[in-house]
Copies of this chain bind each other. A is one copy, B any other.
Amino acid sequence: MATAASGKLERSTTAVEVARVLKQRILAGHYAEDQFIRQELIAQELGVSRIPVREALAQLEAEGLVVREKYRGAVVPKLSVTEIEEIYALRLMIEPYLLRAAIANIQPDQIAHLSEIVRRSRETGDMTLWAGLNVEFHRTLYEAAGKPLAMQVLDNLLSRADRYLKMQRFLSAETQEESDAEHQRILDCVIAGDADAAVDALCAHIRWNATDVTRMIGFTA
């Protein structure tokens, strides 16, 4: 029976919780690139000791979201053009792999779920909500693939990419519409079971995204 509904019963140690919060903050651009993340400060803010904070930072370092130097502290690494190029190059390898596997395995209820996401995505005007639906679309789609390792690798890439995407938030609303349309296109191909066309649409989607971000980087960095 366990905890009522289902899923996983009470997870998360405080260290994991701290890591979650820190990750959110980092991806939201809360910390400047040269700013040290002070353990004591975080500990006080969250009402815990420094131990779980340190463990959280260790995790985040393994994920590449911070860099720690001995006796100096943890900082968010600088954004770099090479990194973003690598992120998108890797996405262009991994996502087609996941998409093909997903198309081979996907179930009707999952397709319905995807349609629902796209519909809501189209309707909403809220940028953060839209962003959430955006990742949910990809996550739902790829989970049908049954490739947990590739999924984990991709998750890490998307986490890193998020730091760059946040700068993109200010971009046009047509960006949003265009993205929704591409999602719809991909979904249509999935429903039709046309893997090649789906991959084409997906890659176009990613590439378009990539040029958008790199253009943005070019302005600032």
Chain A residues within CB distance 8 Å of chain B: 11-13, 15, 51, 54-55, 58-59, 61-64, 70, 82-83, 86-87, 89-90, 93-94, 97, 146-150, 152-153, 156, 160
Contacts of A97 in B (CB 8 A): 89-90, 93
Q: Tell me which residues across on chain B come within 8 A of A89, comparing CB atoms.
A: 97, 150
Closest to A156 in B: B153
This chain: how many copies in the complex? 2
| Residues B13 and A83 in contact, CB atoms below 8 Å apart | no
Contact status A70-B150, CB under 8 Å? no
Determine the chain B residues whose CB is within 8 A of the CB of A148 once the complex forms.
82-83, 86
Q: Tell which of A11, A83, A149 has the most Cβ of chain B within 10 Å.
A: A149
Q: Do B11 and A90 have beta carbons less than 8 Å apart? A: no
Residues from chain B with a CB closer than 8 A to the CB of A86 are: 147-150
Say which residue of B15, B54, B94 sits within 8 Å of A90 (CB atoms): B94
Shortest CB-to-CB span from A66 to chain B, Å, is: 12
A90, B149: Cβ atoms closer than 8 Å: yes
List the B side residues contacting A82 at CB < 8 Å: 146-148
